[in-house]
Structures are given as structure tokens and as C-alpha cells.
């Protein structure tokens, strides 16, 4: 297969080019117009497939539910927003429910389905701080434990690739060191840690921050706290770019502070995504969804995940937060691949990488999506 465009995103910029695909991989990149093509996308953008490392569900389904059918429907729907690979993300549930959910995701990973690839699992909880738990269920929060984590990893068939933890509760940073040493990306989140504790957690193996500014102790000029460590370190940082979780001006400040290599766009979407306004029970929590798509714990002002689509997040970054299109695309492609250590397979249009490709118009609407060289949208 050969596709081409006058704007192919290569090495952080757009150039006219043809992308050749063979057996699911990018076999070569050649000058625009050199060969006969299967599809000519003209002035539309061809970019790497988006990677969502923090997403809980959509369409009424949640990663906390041990339903293979729901998970398969989810992965089939994601390419419509440009997502070609993702980490189903759990929330804080009972130990039994969590194990069932992990086993379900691991089982579906072994099956062959057309749609977005499951790269692994993001375990968000139960090792979180009570004061910054957000929508996570209070009675199921637990102190970080290497033994408990090993049990989850066994249930997941070693598919947990990303772990959110409140570092201040991890005694001697034992879990952070163990997980990072075993190849799991550790992210600081749902945390009230001091600046010093967060920086020590980074020194002991953590390398990212979960949904920046949300569910973490805020920055003060005399007590910089978790956000101070997030802003001043060279660690990765997730951002939910929907206009509700973080003000667009603060999003711009974050991009200025972190540069174009360390920001990761995530949706943090939950099961209400794609549903009409109403009240729903998602992950054993009652959630209200308003007409603007904002989800909250029912009867409170606590934001509960989002209903964001990845391409909408890129549009927001460019149109509302004054981020360049190039940097916005990097935040959805190469940067999440790098935080997972898979940049030689995902996140780039380059020889030998998976042929996960998305075609966008100037408004960042998805007009085509390819997963491993197969057009799925």
C-alpha cells in the first residue's frame, strides 16, 4: 500500500511525502508523487496514530468491567478519533474486582481484533491519597505495596505498563523502585506530596505525572508541592486538554515550562463518553454528565474524568492554548510512545515502525485511520 499527502508529519514537521506500507509496517518513505498511490490525501495531514495512555472507557463501558465484548467495542471505536493504540485504565475498586478487570484486559490483548491496539494496562489506583482521590472509591484506597502490586501484575499476565501512585505513601519508595526496575512507567498522581518528596520519587524511578494540576497539591510560592516538581523537573506530564480540567492559559504555561518533548495529551475519558446528558453509574460510582460533556461525581463539583476525544484535545491545544500543531501532535504520538519506551515501534512515521496512520483535515477531524496498515476508519 502507498498513500501520500503534501503534509506528512515526519520528525516533528510536515513535508510532502509518500508512505509505503508492507505487512503492517512502514517499509519506506519516498518523495511525493514518485509512485502510483492507493490513496492521495492532497493537502490533508498524515500523522502517526494517536496513543492514549490514560483512558477509562467510553460508550457505557469501563475498563473496570470484566466484559470482553465491551472492551472490543471500545477498541473498535477509538480510531474514529485518531487513536490507534491505548492503555485501558483501571480505577480504584475492590481487590477482587480489580483482578477480574486485569484478567479480562489481558485475555483480550491475546486475541486478534481490528481496531486500536491495547499496549498494556494503566493501573490508576488503589495506591492513591485520600485527600486527592477524586472519583476513586475511598474505602478501596490502599497503601502502596510491592506484594499487592505483584498480585495485580500476575493477574494481568505482566501487562501493567503504567502505574499511578501517591508517592508520599510509598514507604522508602519501595513500590516505585520495584515497578520501575521491572519495566513499568511510574507516574505520580492523586498526591499531596511535598516538592521534596516528589523530587525524591523521581530520583527513585518515577518518570511522569498523572493528569497535571488535577488531583494533586497545588503550587504555592513558599511551598511548591507536587505541581512545583512537575513544572521544574524534566519528567513527563499528562494533560487533559478539554478546557474544563485546566484553563487554556495554564496549559500554555505548562507547554512553555516542559517543552515539546515531555507533554503527553490524554483524554482520561470515562464510560459516559459518547453518551447523552444524564446520570450514570460508571465504575461503581454515580456520575452526572452535563450538556457540555463535563462529568462529575453526582451531586458534587468534583470532576470525574472526561468525555474528551483525542482529536478534539489536539484542536483545543492549537485553537485555545496557542500550542503549535506540531507540538500538539507530538503530545499525542511520539511523547506517549517515549514514556512507554516504544518509540521504535509507535508514535513516528519512520521506516520499520508500525503503520499506524491518521489523516486529519485542517480542523483536526479524522478522515481516515489505519491500524497496522489496515484502514479501520
Task: Indicate which residues carry an active-site annotation.
Answer: 268
Cell 485546566 locates to 246
Contact indicator for 323, 364 with CB cutoff of 8 Å = no
The rounded distance, in Å, linking the Cα atoms of 198 and 175 is: 14
- Kindly give the pairing relationship between strand 278-282 and strand 13-22: unpaired
- Cβ(191)–Cβ(216) under 8 Å? yes
Residue 60 DSSP label:
T
Residues near 257 by beta carbon (within 8 Å), at least 6 away in sequence: 231, 232
* 173, 181 Cβ separation under 8 angstroms: no
What b/e sequence results for 179-209 when a residue is b if at least 16 CB atoms lie within 10 Å of its CB, and e otherwise? bbeeebbbbbbbbbbbbebbbbbbebbbbbb
DSSP element (H, E) containing 59 = none
With cell 492503555, the residue in question is: 87
Nearest to 133 by CA among 175, 165, 173: 165
The closest alpha carbon to 122, from 61, 152, 163, 91, belongs to 163
CA–CA distance, 324 with 345 (Å, rounded to integer): 25
State residue 70 phi and psi, 5-degree precision: -65, -40
Helix locations, the chain, DSSP H: 68-77, 95-109, 146-155, 174-181, 195-203, 225-232, 248-258, 310-319, 325-332, 334-340
How is residue 177 written as a grid cell? 523502585
What do you get for the CA distance between the two ends of the chain, in Å? 16
Alpha carbon distance 294, 63 (integer Å): 19
Dist CA 226 CA 275 (whole Å): 34
Amino acid at each position: 500500500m502507498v498513500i501520500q499527502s503534501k503534509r506528512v508529519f515526519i520528525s516533528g514537521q510536515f513535508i510532502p511525502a509518500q508512505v509505503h506500507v508492507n505487512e503492517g509496517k512502514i517499509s519506506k518513505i519516498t518523495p511525493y508523487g514518485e509512485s502510483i498511490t492507493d490513496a492521495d490525501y492532497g493537502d490533508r495531514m498524515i500523522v502517526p496514530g494517536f496513543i492514549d495512555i490514560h483512558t477509562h472507557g467510553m460508550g457505557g463501558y469501563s475498563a473496570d468491567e470484566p466484559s470482553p465484548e465491551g472492551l472490543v467495542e471500545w477498541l473498535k471505536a477509538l480510531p474514529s478519533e485518531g487513536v490507534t493504540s491505548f492503555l485501558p485504565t483501571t480505577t480504584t475498586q475492590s481487590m477482587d474486582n480489580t483482578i477480574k478487570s486485569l484478567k479480562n484486559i489481558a485475555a483480550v490483548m491475546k486475541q486478534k481484533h481490528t481496531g486500536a491496539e491495547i499496549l498494556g494496562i494503566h493501573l490508576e489506583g488503589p495506591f492513591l491519597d485520600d485527600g486527592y482521590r477524586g472519583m476513586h472509591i475511598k474505602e478501596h484506597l490502599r497503601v502502596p505495596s510491592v506484594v499487592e502490586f505483584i498480585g495485580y501484575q500476575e493477574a494481568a499476565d505482566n501487562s501493567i505498563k503504567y502505574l499511578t501512585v501517591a508517592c508520599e505513601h510509598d514507604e522508602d519508595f519501595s513500590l516505585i523502585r520495584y515497578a520501575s526496575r521491572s519495566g513499568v512507567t511510574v507516574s505520580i498522581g492523586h498526591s499531596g506530596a511535598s516538592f521534596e518528596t516528589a523530587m525524591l520519587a523521581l530520583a527513585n524511578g518515577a518518570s511522569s505525572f498523572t493528569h497535571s494540576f488535577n488531583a494533586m497539591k497545588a503550587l504555592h510560592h513558599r511551598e511548591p508541592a507536587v505541581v512545583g516538581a512537575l513544572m521544574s523537573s524534566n519528567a513527563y506530564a499528562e494533560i487533559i486538554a478539554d478546557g474544563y480540567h485546566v484553563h487554556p492559559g495554564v496549559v500554555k504555561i505548562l507547554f512553555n515550562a516542559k517543552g515539546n518533548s515531555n507533554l503527553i495529551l490524554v483524554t482520561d475519558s470515562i464510560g459516559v463518553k459518547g453518551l447523552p446528558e444524564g446520570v450514570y453509574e460508571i465504575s461503581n460510582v454515580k456520575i452526572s454528565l452535563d450538556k457540555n460533556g463535563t462529568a462529575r461525581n453526582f451531586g458534587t463539583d468534583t470532576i470525574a474524568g472526561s468525555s474528551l476525544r483525542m482529536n478534539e484535545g489536539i484542536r483545543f491545544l492549537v485553537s485555545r492554548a496557542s500550542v503549535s500543531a506540531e507540538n500538539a501532535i507530538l503530545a499525542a504520538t511520539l511523547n506517549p510512545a517515549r514514556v512507554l519506551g516504544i518509540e521504535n515501534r509507535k508514535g513516528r512515521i519512520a521506516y520499520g515502525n508500525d503503520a499506524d496512520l491518521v489523516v486529519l483535515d485542517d480542523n483536526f477531524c479524522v478522515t481516515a485511520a489505519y491500524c497496522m496498515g489496515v484502514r479501520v476508519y
